[in-house]
Amino acid sequence: MSDSKIKITNLHKAFGKKVVLDGVDLEIKRGESLVVIGGSGTGKSVLIKCIQGILTPDQGSILIDDEEVVGVSEKEKEKLHSKMGMLFQGGALFDSLTVWENVAFGLIENQKMDRKNAKMEAIRVLRQVGLAPDVADLSPSELSGGMQKRVGLARAIATRPEIIFFDEPTTGLDPIMSDVINDLIIESVKGLGATALTITHDMASARKIADRIAMLYKGKIIWQGTVKELDKTKNEYVRQFINGSSQGPIKVEV
């Protein structure tokens, strides 16, 4: 077995005439935490959805554990999904279920754990992300934004996935809560020994959780390297992005 967990080669995806991914090449090693940075609308979410099989790419290959996942059957996809967890940008908690039922969803529906044990496990994971057991019976709409993110994280890690995706994990949170979430992400990823792929445009968060950073621009990976290399790079696109400047080679289309 090679040491690459996810290997993406020449990935293309367009919606009508709008080309979103234009030949993405990216490799994520086993147990590594890779952060993909890039402006809004550069196709970061599309990239994740292609890897998960929610979107089908037009061209290219995605290998997970050295197995091709583009174009596999629904059944294979379901099997694939049981290896994955995902923290959604808006939480995407099921509002018809309670907090603990959300966290235990994968355990009950797929791992066929009985409800009593699943609830105990859910409470354990909730505690791990810093939530008291008494939130377990609340409905997700009763929680604050930061707490919803924590529940989303708990749901993503409850099934002990090998790969975890984080979609803008700190968007909409205050800086301190962002850092708390960053710590929790690092803790839970390392705790599980999972491979993590995060997409974000929050540079503070990217620096903190990344082993390696890649920048997506105009549908291609234009730069990748470690956090240290990030600060030394001469790549003007990257420099403009990390400095948050409106002046530079990246033009914002209004």
Partner 1 sequence: MIEKFLRKLGKPLVKFFSGLGSLSIFIIRSVGNCFIPPFYVKNLLRQVMDIGFYSLPVVGLTTIFAGMVIALQSYSGFSRFGAESAVASVVLISVTRELAPVLSALMVAGRIGAAMAAEIGTMRVTEQIDALTTLSTNPYKYLIAPRVVAGVLVLPILVLIGDVIGIYGGFVVGVYQLGFNPANYVKATLQELEYLDVITGVVKAAVFGFIISIMGCYNGFKSKGGAQGVGEATTNAVVSSSILILIFNYIITGMFFSK
Length of the chain: 254
Per CB under 8 A, contacts with partner 1 among 158-217 are 159, 165
| Cβ-based nearer residue to partner 1, 2 or 94 | 94
| Cβ-based nearer residue to partner 1, 19 or 92 | 92
CB of 88 to partner 1, least distance (A): 5
Task: Map residues 103-142 to x or -, x wherever contact with partner 1 holds by CB under 8 A.
Answer: --xx--xx--------------------------------
- In terms of Cβ atoms closer than 10 Å to its own Cβ (0-12, 13-18, 19+), residue 82 is middle
| Cβ-based nearer residue to partner 1, 93 or 131 | 93
Task: Map residues 58-87 to x or -, x wherever contact with partner 1 holds by CB under 8 A.
Answer: ----------------x---xxxxx-xxx-
Per CB under 8 A, contacts with partner 1 among 23-62 are 49, 52, 54
| Cβ-based nearer residue to partner 1, 36 or 213 | 36
Chain contacts with partner 1 (rule: CB under 8 A): 49, 52, 54, 74, 78-82, 84-86, 88-90, 92-96, 105-106, 109-110, 155, 159, 165
